[in-house]
Structure 1
Amino acid sequence: MAFNNFTAPLQYPAPSPAALKLQFVGQKIADVPAPATIIDVAVARRNCALMLETAEKLGLGFRAHIKTHKTTELSKLQVGDDALSVKLVASTLAEIEGLLPWLLECKSQSKEISILYGLPLSPSAIPRLAAVSRLLGPGTVGVFADHPAHIKYLDQVEETTWPGQIPVFVNVDIGYHREGVAADSKQLAEIGYALAASQRAHLGGMYTHFGSSYGVSSPAEALRDLGIELEGLKKGAVEFLKCSSMPDAKNGQASKVVLSIGASPTATAAQNITENTKGAEEYRALIQSISESFDVELHAGVYPLMDMQQLATRARPETSVADPTKTLLTFKDLGVRTLVEVASVYPDRGEKPEALIAGGIIVMGREPCKSYPGWGVVSAWPHASGQVYDPEGSKTGWIIGRVSQEHGNLVWEGPRDKLRELTIGEKLLVWPNHACIAGVNFGYYLVVDSDGADGDQIVDVWVRFRGW
């Protein structure tokens, strides 16, 4: 199988970070062209540190998903400065290739590297994954499998092309029905037989993504889904090991096979356990019980930035039980905003005042949010406070109520006597529904630091990895 030299960095050349920094660093948010995506690194630092701290307190591993931001800089925050191991998941080959300079640096520092390609393996991905593995070393690049054919493709790869045993994480479906197979399915057993007989692949772990958890509306519901996820993946692992005839199988129990669980709501919910919120002890005991036989790790992606969807889950309380001055899941914990400019205003269009922004579907995405009828909430910026639409509170403020391709229609919700007047040319910052989608059509992020002397000043520019 020949190596395909046309990798994402060649097909999708990135803009010059040095040129971007020369253009933007030192400018104020209000002075840069709109639309643009703004990341507050202070918020991202706090969110990343809290996740790492939670995993450590609970005795769990953590694997950072980088699909939300697709940057080296935020990947480093997710892993942590002092980490001895770098465990990641990526949704595209471009993300893995984009991280290579940093990963090679980690290798030179003797850090353990484990990066997973986050879709069940496609044959066309093998040459590029193999090339990365040759650079990083055997066992560093793993793949997902939810069909025995995935193992067959790996068995056809020559050792000189992809050195060493290839780690395979088996996808188990516990009800979300995206990727993966059910614990009691014949297909899961067939994967086990194929992996047990494989000369090239070995079991790296079991993996599930419980996207259904985005429907939760409280810390208690989020913890419940965390329990469902953990129990469901454990069941899949036990059934898999029974039929696989692998050395790890001992009377139907696994000997420290990795169970990787998570979606941002359930991974976020794990933080409630360390806060000793209601029901925390029950889930702490569940984790401890399963950890006797398995190595449990959390994985998550959108948590460093958060967004309106995550806010709608209410997977954490608004403030810390231990420290009420510390926010956990409020507007203050959302680290990404979209800068837009008012193109026109329509105060008398109908029952509700409206305005137009140059920011429709290709800027905001079209993913809905269960807590309100829109595609973004306009923040109070540039003011420190003001009338903001709160889905759980006043429900009064500007939201993006309709979207076309480049057009976004702002709609005023609530009493007219509280109306925030807008003017043509005015810049606004909007909290998007889904951070992963809102950044897609931007080649870079403008970075501010609200912990610094001026939270409105651009302090850095982070280039996103593009392509597939």
Structure 2
Amino acid sequence: MTTGLPYTAATLYPSPSEASLKLQFLGKQIKDVQAPAAIIDAAVVRRNCKLMLDTAEKLGCSFRAHVKTHKTKELSELQVGKDSKSVRLVGSTLSEVEHLAPWLYECKSQGKEVSVLYGLPLSPSAVPRLAAIARVLGEGTVGIFADHPTHIKILDEVDEKTWPGKIPVFFNVDVGYHREGVAHDSKQLADVAYALKASRRATLTGVYTHFGSSYGVSSPEEALKAMTEELQGLEQGAIEFLKCTGANISGDANAPKVVLSLGASPTATAIQNLLEGGEEFKQYRAVIEKCQKSFEVEFHAGVYPVMDMQQLATRARPQHAAANPEQSLLSFKDLGMRILTEVASVYPERGEVLVASGGIVFGREPCKSYPGWGVVTPWPAKEGQVYDPETSKTGWIIARISQEHGNLTWEGPRDNYRELQVGEKLLVWPNHACIASTSFGWFLVVDSDKSDPERIEDVWTRWRGW
């Protein structure tokens, strides 16, 4: 597949040879890999992706997967499901959209519905690259975000040969997070709506919001309340926007419904609670069902396939299913990405251990549940003393970070103290998987459903560039 551009992210930021990577890593044990390395457990990822897709289907909602966390074709395929007839994605960089394009072209040739969004409000410099992808994938496949009249003006200046057909637009609504988007009562909302109504190129497909404030929740109930507030705020913004355009919002069965696209992983994960069937959840299902009468409700999320310490801290789901205590819902067992690091030195007098992984590996995003940058897993043992922010608060954590250095401290009583030695390798659950994976060119993939969960079964290359 060619894009017709003199350059793309794939040419400017070439990926390493998959054949070379597999020759280097396949069949090795985790313990034999040089650290630092990013390890993904395919079994955990498959479960998390399937649960999200099953939930959306049972609730009668759509789902749009964000690819920014992993930036790989392999995990994108798991996010949309092998047998899905609808492929809905969003990327945060042009590189992600460009790298997705060859696979999306295959999906189109198989008769699947394809929709990919560039996940920032449109900038003029992005138009040539997005238009090239749209020329290949066809009309209506590549959508953009808009929350300013200038965004619509940019599209109206694009000729049909450059970007064929009508261009799908998702209007950004701000429901209180104040990242991108405008509030339902903003004059800017009306200005965008009037510009869109007069546009000859742009067509409203949906309204979109990201509720990053949901990361502050601490229980399923709080997460569901956040989801409800997000959906109601998005609906209000959509109604005000559509009033300005003169569009029909009566729920005409013959007209395509405008999409209400909401989510962050905590609120998207929270809807999984609605399948439990408890009376306390009926009010939240009722809000979704009310919106579905006039709109198409679509959830979106990104980090949910691998989860991380931040997601664990939200407790958007219980740790275990009430009906089946053996079924993990949101616990350490559901964290699908770990960072392999190595002990570089030990300082008994100050009670610290140094690992050769710092801010450029783990990032600098804190987690509200504990004062650290990562939690050391019991690996290579299956069980052991692990720092749990909700219970024991005892174990090794990454307490301080510099650029390449991480300082571990043992928190809590020393009854089950784990002695660490220079050269010992550790696996760490990071605070934020999206940030922790950015410095890695590939993921080493294991599969805990197989007989040897330590064996590297695959290598997934990550897309680079902007």
- Answer whether TM exceeds 0.5 for this pair: yes
The Cα shift of 1:323 comes to 2.5
Amino acid at match of 1:40: D
Pair 323,179 (structure 1): closer, same or farther in 2 beyond 3 Å: same
The Cα shift of 1:4 comes to 5.0
2:429 alignment counterpart: 431
* Contact 2:5/2:132 (<8 A) preserved: no
Query: Which whole-Å CA distance do the structure 2 matches of 1:229 and 1:191 have between them?
Result: 21
2:387 alignment counterpart: 389
* Contact 1:260/1:298 (<8 A) preserved: yes
* Contact 1:277/1:321 (<8 A) preserved: no
Query: Which whole-Å CA distance do the structure 2 matches of 1:158 and 1:3 have between them?
Result: 16
Deviates more, 1:313-322 or 1:200-209: 313-322
1:70-116, CA deviations, whole angstroms, 9 ceiling, x for partnerless residues? 00000000000100010001000100111122111111111110000
Amino acid at match of 1:268: T
2:462 alignment counterpart: 464
Query: Which whole-Å CA distance do the structure 2 matches of 1:278 and 1:427 have between them?
Result: 47
Pair 250,384 (structure 1): closer, same or farther in 2 beyond 3 Å: closer
The alignment partner of 1:399 has SS state of strand
1:200 aligns with 2:201: yes
TM-score (norm 1): 0.97
Match of 1:376 among 369, 374, 377: 374
Query: Which whole-Å CA distance do the structure 2 matches of 1:293 and 1:103 have between them?
Result: 29
Query: Which whole-Å CA distance do the structure 1 matches of 2:97 and 2:344 have between them?
Result: 39
Gaps in structure 1 of 5+ consecutive residues: none
Output the aligned Cα RMSD. 1.6
Could you list the runs of 4 or more consecutive aligned residues of structure 1 that deviate by over 4 angstroms after TM superposition? 249-252
1:280 aligns with 2:281: yes
Query: Which whole-Å CA distance do the structure 2 matches of 1:132 and 1:36 have between them?
Result: 33
2:71 alignment counterpart: 70
2:290 alignment counterpart: 289
The Cα shift of 1:249 comes to 4.6
1:136-165, CA deviations, whole angstroms, 9 ceiling, x for partnerless residues? 111100000010100000000010000110
* Contact 2:251/2:257 (<8 A) preserved: no
1:404 alignment counterpart: 402
Query: Which whole-Å CA distance do the structure 1 matches of 2:6 and 2:120 have between them?
Result: 21
The Cα shift of 1:322 comes to 3.3
Query: Which whole-Å CA distance do the structure 2 matches of 1:382 and 1:97 have between them?
Result: 39
1:11 aligns with 2:2: no
Identity score, percent: 68
Amino acid at match of 2:156: D
2:440 alignment counterpart: 442
Counterparts of 1:348-367 in structure 2, within 5 Å, are 348-349=349-350, 353-367=351-365
The Cα shift of 1:411 comes to 0.8
Deviates more, 1:203-212 or 1:410-419: 410-419
The Cα shift of 1:10 comes to 1.1
Query: Which whole-Å CA distance do the structure 2 matches of 1:174 and 1:346 have between them?
Result: 48
Q: How many residues align?
A: 463
1:191-222, CA deviations, whole angstroms, 9 ceiling, x for partnerless residues? 10000100001001000000000000000000
Query: Which whole-Å CA distance do the structure 2 matches of 1:126 and 1:81 have between them?
Result: 31
The Cα shift of 1:245 comes to 2.1
1:298 alignment counterpart: 299
Pair 160,255 (structure 1): closer, same or farther in 2 beyond 3 Å: closer
Gaps in structure 2 of 5+ consecutive residues: none
* Contact 1:3/1:127 (<8 A) preserved: no
1:119 alignment counterpart: 120
* Contact 1:170/1:205 (<8 A) preserved: yes
* Contact 2:344/2:356 (<8 A) preserved: yes
TM-score (norm 2): 0.97
The Cα shift of 1:302 comes to 0.4
Query: Which whole-Å CA distance do the structure 2 matches of 1:328 and 1:251 have between them?
Result: 36
Pair 110,255 (structure 1): closer, same or farther in 2 beyond 3 Å: closer
The alignment partner of 1:235 has SS state of helix
Query: Which whole-Å CA distance do the structure 1 matches of 2:233 and 2:357 have between them?
Result: 41
1:170 alignment counterpart: 171
Query: Which whole-Å CA distance do the structure 1 matches of 2:277 and 2:423 have between them?
Result: 48
The Cα shift of 1:276 comes to 2.4
The alignment partner of 2:349 has SS state of coil
Query: Which whole-Å CA distance do the structure 1 matches of 2:128 and 2:59 have between them?
Result: 38
The alignment partner of 1:418 has SS state of coil
Amino acid at match of 1:464: R
Query: Which whole-Å CA distance do the structure 1 matches of 2:433 and 2:96 have between them?
Result: 17
Amino acid at match of 1:148: P
Query: Which whole-Å CA distance do the structure 1 matches of 2:409 and 2:379 have between them?
Result: 17
Query: Which whole-Å CA distance do the structure 2 matches of 1:340 and 1:409 have between them?
Result: 12
Query: Which whole-Å CA distance do the structure 1 matches of 2:446 and 2:115 have between them?
Result: 30
Deviates more, 1:439-448 or 1:99-108: 99-108
1:296-340, CA deviations, whole angstroms, 9 ceiling, x for partnerless residues? 010000000000000000000111133222100000000000000
1:262 alignment counterpart: 263
2:180 alignment counterpart: 179
1:236-283, CA deviations, whole angstroms, 9 ceiling, x for partnerless residues? 00000111123x35599x972110010000000000011124621111
The alignment partner of 2:415 has SS state of helix
